[in-house]
């Protein structure tokens, strides 16, 4: 009787786990899409940073671009190409010589949304943070 109850409980637990949303699992991006987001100023000395994230037509790489301030000019633009892994995660860093200037890590939440962490080490105002990225429509 105890063995039968244990089996039933184990089966119920497995069923519950299968029905829970996979919140920690990344998704694969839609190919060729452009995601946009903003890293909002989080303090008096912080600047707002617009972000564009363009996925390549292959879906295997993406161009991560952000601007230091609201004006999208060439002089305050920062960009790198990152690999999008098979699990939907991405990361990259921008270096000057051996100095890492800024880094980005993130993951696709759905085919058309992502979350990225921008870490500013030696550029702009030094104020990074989390940004939600999504298609514009």
pTM: 0.79
Q: What is the DSSP track for 42-94?
A: -STTPPPEEEEEEE-TTSSEEEEEEESSSS--GGGEEEEEEEE-TTSEEEEEE
The pLDDT value recorded for residue 57 is 97
The pLDDT value recorded for residue 15 is 43
The pLDDT value recorded for residue 20 is 39
**Do 91 and 34 contact (CB within 8 A), yes or no?**
no
The pLDDT value recorded for residue 7 is 57
Write out residues in the chain with pLDDT < 50, as ranges: 8-9, 12-23
State how beta strands 77-84 and 61-67 pair: antiparallel
pLDDT of 23-50, one tens digit each? 456 799 999 999 999 998 877 788 999 9
Residue-range domains of the chain with CATH: 24-134 (2.40.160.90)
The pLDDT value recorded for residue 17 is 41
| CA pair distance 120, 103, nearest whole angstrom | 7
The pLDDT value recorded for residue 136 is 80
């Amino acid at each position: 009787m105890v063995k039968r109850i244990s089996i039933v409980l184990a089966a119920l637990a497995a069923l519950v786990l299968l029905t829970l949303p996979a919140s920690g699992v990344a998704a694969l991006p839609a190919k060729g899409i452009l995601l946009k987001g903003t890293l909002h100023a989080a303090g008096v000395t912080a600047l707002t940073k617009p972000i564009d994230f363009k996925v390549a037509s292959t879906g295997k790489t993406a161009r991560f671009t952000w601007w230091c301030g609201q004006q999208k000019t060439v002089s305050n633009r920062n960009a790198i190409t990152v690999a999008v892994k098979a699990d939907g995660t991405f990361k990259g860093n921008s270096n000057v010589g051996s100095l890492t200037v800024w880094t980005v890590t993130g993951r696709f939440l759905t085919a058309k949304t992502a979350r990225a962490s921008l870490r500013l080490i030696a550029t702009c105002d030094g104020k990074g943070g989390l940004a939600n990225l999504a298609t514009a429509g």
